[in-house]
């Protein structure tokens, strides 16, 4: 697979690559490896993007690591599965909560900026694909084009995505024609 000069698709994990569990109106990540299930079309979509030369970088907030709700070895096993099954270049994780005031927790662009530096990514010719306002905000702050998957769980959207699609598979043609 040949990577186009400096182009990437940044992918949120939960709700874009794998199923989320909505509780009390909020999306929640899977808590066990048995619950970690790819959404329909994800494998073909990631292959199409990688075959087109994009680096695929997962950027994910995982605040349950900080609060102790999630087990680090379970999250690591989920990420190992992503790397084994899909043509993912790298996974960048923010393990903090909002209270930590870190620079990596989306909607701040820290994860995208770190990936851009590490892989010489041109952010203006790259995309951020996510299912929440935080993803759109991080993509905008980094200078990427943004794609919202779904309806954002009905949350208030402080930023407007460049495109809205139903799934990652539906994002592929948008990305490939740009």
Known catalytic residues?
Answer: 12, 14
> Tell me, what DSSP letter sits at residue 155?
-
Among left, alpha and beta (phi > 0; psi -120 to 50; other), residue 148 is beta
In terms of Cα–Cα distance, which of 100, 20, 92, 30 is closest to 60?
A: 92
- Cβ atoms < 10 Å from Cβ of 36: 21
In terms of Cα–Cα distance, which of 140, 141, 142, 177 is closest to 162?
A: 140
């Amino acid at each position: 697979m040949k990577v186009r000069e400096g182009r990437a698709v940044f992918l949120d994990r939960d709700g874009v690559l794998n199923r989320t569990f909505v509780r009390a109106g909020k999306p929640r990540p899977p808590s066990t490896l048995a619950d970690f299930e790819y959404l329909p079309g994800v494998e073909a979509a990631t292959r199409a993007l990688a075959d087109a030369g994009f680096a695929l970088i997962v950027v994910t907030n995982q605040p349950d690591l900080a609060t102790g709700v999630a087990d680090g070895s379970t999250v690591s096993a989920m990420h190992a599965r992503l790397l084994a099954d899909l043509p993912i270049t790298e996974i960048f994780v923010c393990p903090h909560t909002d209270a930590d005031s870190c620079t990596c927790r989306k909607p701040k662009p820290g994860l995208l900026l770190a990936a851009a530096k590490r892989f010489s990514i041109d952010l203006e010719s790259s995309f951020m694909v996510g299912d929440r306002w935080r993803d759109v905000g991080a993509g905008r702050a980094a200078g990427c084009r943004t794609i919202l998957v779904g309806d954002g769980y009905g949350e208030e959207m402080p930023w407007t995505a460049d495109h809205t699609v139903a799934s990652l598979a539906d994002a592929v043609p948008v990305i490939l024609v740009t």
